[in-house]
Structure 1
Amino acid sequence: MKDFILTLDDIGNKSVQNIETLFAQANGTLGVRASLPIRTGESTPGTFLNAFYESHDIVYGENAYGYAKQHQTMVNLFDLRSIELMIDGKSEFLLSDQSVVLDMEKGLLFESYIYETGDGKKFEYLLESFASHSERSVYAQKIQIKALNFSGVVKLVKKGRPVSVKKGEAFDPRIKNSSTELIQEGNKYTTQNSRLSIYVKFDSLSEERRLNEGESISFTQLYHISRENHFSSLSYDELKNKQVEIFANFWKSSDIEIEGNTRLQKGIRFNMYHLFNSAGRDGASNFSAKGLTGEGYEGHYFWDTEMYLLPFFIYTQPEIAKSLLSYRVSILPKAQARAKELGFQGALFAWRTINGEETSAYYPAGTAQVHINADIAYGFELFEKVTGDTDFIEENSTLIFETARFWLDYGFYSKRGFEIHEVTGPDEYTALVNNNYYTNKMAQNNLFYAARLANRLKSNEDEAKYWFNAAENMYFGFDQELQIIQQDDSFLTKEPWDFVNTPKEKYPLLLHYHPMKIYKHQVLKQADTILAHMLFDESQEQVNRDFAFYEPLTTHDSSLSRTVYGVVASKLGRSELAYRFFKEAAIMDLEDSQGNASHGIHAANMGGSWLGLIYGFAGLSYENGEIKTNNNLPKEIKSMKFTITIQGEKKHIIIE
């Protein structure tokens, strides 16, 4: 099954750090970058534990009430892959050949390296590894070192060691140094500020042996990193067998077969592989923006989970979806405290966080994105609709009610209706505006859902009347002259960005222009109004006009953008454009088209590529107990087969 195999030939940027990201192994709890066994200056080894972070005070030159107080940064823990080697006293080697093969079908990584000493002695280093999905505290390795053209003494030391990471010099607000000093007491490691602890158990090896030409030394290693001081007793082979079985079941439930482009087939499987690997499973962790493959965005959780990742899990892996939603339930008290701190009722979820507290130091593009409340509620609603698990929703109805209470307090009634002011929508190049269409549309949906749920449970029924009334009277701006929906009250009054005279090296704009320069123009970072059109029905004529207006103003500087425009293009019958957007999304990390895959995968885009196929090309919808599809396949794709799970039953769908 070659389309389940990823090699170095399949990736565009073969830099050391890109390879480390793309071939990283993870299991939702533990993630390990595929760093070189013999380190070079370019290598950035990394081992991450989901939701294990260090905190530091945010230092403001000018502070103000209610600003976020602390950074939270996922800790880069150990280098579990490097080895110390000496061949007849020589410890400096030249890498002369390298092979990296990821078997996505089985969840196993195979590597081969040929090293050479200064005096011409060659040896082969073979490595088989995986992050165990059956025992999530375990990273497993099987190693063989073979003398190719010499007989001599091989001395080796193989153990896990703390990572010391040097901060990169390039300016990029999306990354931050994640190294930290841990306090060690025996096999217990504790962060200094957040006071989180882990326990480790490493198989270490120190050996000196004479090898004759053609002989080899082989060994297996299990690295255990856990929040509990007890560890799996399973052997390497037992763990490997379970890994293969788990991945076989995963692909039965989640695989998508597309005929017509083997590159895209491999790309979509690569994306789903990483989605399965990085999703939290314990209800206390979630899905970091870069998964467990790198340090970008400090391991924070955003709205990405609910709007871009959750549909994939709801339709194919509902138990994982439930765990991701359970995380939101676990941090509800922090969201309630945040709303109270800012002077509002209900709950306000943090824009970027690990433990539930707001960590975004720049509130115009952080806290002001209050649409996250409605995004989370939307995720719960979709989960209930597709899975039929009403018990889970009803047990956690407080979350839905508390988000509705926030909207009722944050918005207000005017002559025009119920308005929501001073917010930032998905488009982060437009901040602190009134009546952002996406925000108002999502808030309306949140309020309707809360009202229906309250009436169903026969609780909070008096409040439900207010929620329903606010939703019914939600204000949406419309420009009569252009006949388009207004992104917000002020967007159409702004000067269009000068795209013609903006050189390509000035993108993404956020790295080259001050926010004041960007905010005063008509320019979008990503889909905003068009995202609302992807989620909610609107007349095709209206969506066509909006699409034609907003897409040319969109830079797609965010990796979250192309997939949304692609889905909507599919629904509009613009198959050529839809295919182009999907293609760019499906192989974004394989091609490193955003130029920063070295920081970690673009998880939301990976989820978005699934949306492009299922919501876009297949036109899937599920309403009132009925599955509907609409064949939007572009000419480049001859057929598509996929499996979804509805109300606990697997449905196999073919689009030709």
Structure 2
Amino acid sequence: MVTINEYTLTLADIGNDALQNIETLFAQANGAIGVRASLPIPEKDSKPGTFLNAFYESHDIVYGENAYGYAKKHQTMVNLFDFKCIQLMIDGDSELTLKKKELSLDMKNGLLNESYLYESQSGKILEYQVESFASHFDRRVYAQRISLKPVNFSGVVKINKEPQAIRSVKDSIFDPRVKDASVQLHQSGNKYTTPNSKRSFYVKFDSIATEQFMNAGEVVMYDQLYQISIENEFYDNTYELLKMKQIEIFEKFWQSSDIVIEGDTILQKGVRFNLYHLFNSAGRDGCSNFSAKGLTGEGYEGHYFWDTEMYLLPFFIYTQPDIAKSLLSYREYTLPNAQARAKELGFKGALFAWRTINGDETSAYYPAGTAQIHINADIAYAFQLFERVTGEEEFIEQNCEIIFETARFWLDYGFYSQRGFEIHEVTGPDEYTALVNNNYYTNKMAQNNLYYAAELARRMEVNKEESEKWQAAGKAMFLGFDSDLQVTPQDDSFLIKEPWDFKNTPKENFPLLLHYHPMKIYKHQVLKQADTILAHMLYSENEEQIGRDFDFYEPLTTHDSSLSKTIYGVVASKIGRHEQAYHFFRESATMDLEDLQGNAAHGIHAANMGGSWLGLIYGFAGLRCEKDKLITSNQLPKEIKSLKFTLTFRGKQQTFKIG
């Protein structure tokens, strides 16, 4: 297996080598363009793809029974081209058989190396190799260097290579998390436009079309740059220049973001693999964000969720603050959409979309979509964390309307009762429990949002009357507690529901959402993912109480969401359950490499990847940010001897070693 000094992923390192899994895991991206690692000569099960961050097609949502305020349009990230495909002929024979394939992902330098042996019907073998990368220096470019070598013959080799538009292929397997992302684009010259959303991009593609005699052992090389630009602007680059810059950029990335694990080489590779994909798929332009599957697959239609703020941004804030600022700026970019949405629903302030690309709500099922209004507070929390870690007050003040508008929403949506300030008819992080009153996580996060808005208003000397109301609502926030069970209720009704019959639920019936109607699920005590426990991860106030809540909720949690186990792992570390913490973290670190969710073919589990960073840094290293310093503590499980990592705090890098 890999040593701790290696940054290379090969086919031997993955638990499921099905074609679509390979295409996901070895995908290349740069925050703008993503390219799946499909075969040069596609096979039946292949799912090639090229994606452009924030480029989508829209179409009307058709409801059997519509209602006021329902989301109106789908938005789907478009699968554009197959950038990998070729046409090969060996002495006139195009019926070639793939005899061998090798893939090596050089995560240290941001390069993918592939090697294939193709055999003609007469036994002539041609070696096809390609080195490729999505350029981080010029994010318009996907670069390839192709090498051809006859292995056991001398003869005529013909090659044609140019991008092929992706055609729609329907998946026969029912899965609401996946939607076909292919559309027929309108082409005019080098311009491509979607029929409905009217979004356009321009291309500049190098092509190969040549036929020549080659001697056995002779190597012929071709360089190709495939370029996509929204502005129709292209730069003159060479493959060598872009490769040199790619290596330089990744050297800086690993200097600031690497984590060295001593004692577990499998986890070391898994963590580096996760960090690699996090760096690759994050939007950098303030107008795009981080899709749930990054830029590696069609899962969740390329939508942005709360995943960015709660699972991904901590990694970027502490290691790549410039990228974090770009991701946060996207929320400022979509603030007008959020304000319009709140007004449409009859509330003040702003309500950010649960799932979106352009800022408009696209979730057709509002109980597990719009009702997850905690996203407002999640966004405010991320801005607050950015300020705490970077000290950049000016950026926060420039974006203060996000904090103020979300606070205005809470003040209008909630209400005062004899118990305090209550928030009703919401869905918390646990999507197996919908439309409840006083979800603990939502109330706790809203309280923080209100306090932060009041603090910011006082600092900026604005909104004095409003800030006093925000402070008062935060102070009066109702946070339930069951004195009989000594448990923090997830919401007002959760503790009186009938527990789910786990004992008689077949293993093949998980995830539950694919096998049971929501009404069946909602009426039971069963969690899809961490909910109250997520609040405890963020606000560690009473370790004894957290332990009781952990023991109550974990057995009721299916972990059907990839966002779940990492949170339970962090909290397990905080309360000294080191064996459990390691178990949860291991699954988080290797989720995609071992295909533990069974759907890596649809794209990476980006939030889980960010969660694996949380597991190491918040969990095993016990990181806390208190006032003007970072504090760590040794919470390492016995399987890990030491942990070494670098964080950026107030503009300066600090290196930590635990153990």
TM-score by length of 1: 0.99
Corresponding position of 1:81: 84
Match of 1:351 among 342, 351, 354: 354
Corresponding position of 1:138: 141
Corresponding position of 2:609: 606
The 5-angstrom pairing of residues 245-644 of structure 1 reads 245-644=248-647
Cα distance in 1 for partners of 2:474, 2:231 equals: 46
Check the 8 A contact 1:645/1:651 in 2, yes or no: yes
Cα distance in 1 for partners of 2:627, 2:227 equals: 47
Check the 8 A contact 1:44/1:165 in 2, yes or no: no
Deviation of 1:114 (Å):
0.7
Match of 1:301, SS state, is coil
Deviation string for 1:16-42 (max 9, x for gaps)?
100000000000000000000111111
For 2:526, the aligned partner's letter is: V
Deviation of 1:2 (Å):
5.2
1:153 and 2:177 correspond:
no
For 1:364, the aligned partner's letter is: P
1:64 and 2:75 correspond:
no
In the superposition, relative to structure 1, how do residues 2 and 18 fare at CA in structure 2: closer, same or farther (>3 Å)? farther
Aligned residues: percent identity? 71
Deviation string for 1:327-363 (max 9, x for gaps)?
0000000000000000000000000000000000000
Check the 8 A contact 1:125/1:146 in 2, yes or no: yes
Residues paired across the two proteins, number? 656
Deviation of 1:217 (Å):
2.2
Deviation of 1:165 (Å):
3.0
Deviation string for 1:117-176 (max 9, x for gaps)?
122111100110000000000000000111111122111111112111302100000000
Deviation of 1:471 (Å):
0.3
Deviation of 1:232 (Å):
1.9
Match of 2:114, SS state, is strand
Deviation string for 1:466-491 (max 9, x for gaps)?
00000000001111110011000000
Deviation of 1:3 (Å):
2.5
- Structure 1 residue runs of 4+, over 6 Å off? none
For 2:295, the aligned partner's letter is: L
Cα distance in 1 for partners of 2:168, 2:360 equals: 26
Cα distance in 2 for partners of 1:229, 1:356 equals: 24
For 1:58, the aligned partner's letter is: I
Deviation string for 1:578-634 (max 9, x for gaps)?
000000000000000000000000000000000000000000011111211111000
Match of 1:632, SS state, is coil
Corresponding position of 1:111: 114
Check the 8 A contact 1:53/1:196 in 2, yes or no: yes
Cα distance in 1 for partners of 2:234, 2:36 equals: 22
1:21 and 2:44 correspond:
no
Deviation of 1:537 (Å):
2.3
Match of 1:655 among 651, 654, 658: 658
Deviation of 1:216 (Å):
2.8
Which stretches in structure 1 are left out of the alignment for 5+ residues?
none
1:193 and 2:196 correspond:
yes
For 2:629, the aligned partner's letter is: E
Check the 8 A contact 1:22/1:589 in 2, yes or no: yes
For 2:391, the aligned partner's letter is: G
Match of 2:148, SS state, is strand
Match of 2:300, SS state, is helix
Cα distance in 2 for partners of 1:141, 1:573 equals: 49
Match of 2:592, SS state, is helix
Cα distance in 1 for partners of 2:72, 2:168 equals: 25
Match of 2:117, SS state, is strand
Cα distance in 2 for partners of 1:366, 1:39 equals: 37
Cα distance in 2 for partners of 1:40, 1:2 equals: 35
The 5-angstrom pairing of residues 26-41 of structure 1 reads 26-41=29-44
Deviation string for 1:348-392 (max 9, x for gaps)?
000000000000000000000000000000000000000000000
Match of 2:68, SS state, is coil
Comparing 159-168 with 231-240, greater Cα deviation is found at: 159-168
Deviation of 1:205 (Å):
1.1
Corresponding position of 1:48: 51
Check the 8 A contact 1:3/1:262 in 2, yes or no: no
Comparing 149-158 with 332-341, greater Cα deviation is found at: 149-158
Match of 1:277, SS state, is helix
Cα distance in 1 for partners of 2:235, 2:109 equals: 21
Corresponding position of 2:130: 127
The 5-angstrom pairing of residues 142-181 of structure 1 reads 142-181=145-184
Check the 8 A contact 1:128/1:142 in 2, yes or no: yes
Match of 2:362, SS state, is coil
Cα distance in 2 for partners of 1:188, 1:118 equals: 40
Deviation of 1:51 (Å):
0.1
Cα distance in 2 for partners of 1:635, 1:466 equals: 49
Cα distance in 1 for partners of 2:523, 2:436 equals: 11
Comparing 556-565 with 618-627, greater Cα deviation is found at: 618-627
Match of 2:260, SS state, is strand
Q: C-alpha root-mean-square deviation of aligned residues, in Å?
A: 0.7
For 2:11, the aligned partner's letter is: L
TM-score by length of 2: 0.99
Comparing 106-115 with 149-158, greater Cα deviation is found at: 149-158
Which stretches in structure 2 are left out of the alignment for 5+ residues?
none
Corresponding position of 1:210: 213
For 2:648, the aligned partner's letter is: T
Match of 1:591, SS state, is coil
Corresponding position of 2:243: 240
Cα distance in 2 for partners of 1:386, 1:280 equals: 21
Check the 8 A contact 1:3/1:265 in 2, yes or no: no
Deviation of 1:234 (Å):
1.2
Cα distance in 1 for partners of 2:5, 2:448 equals: 44
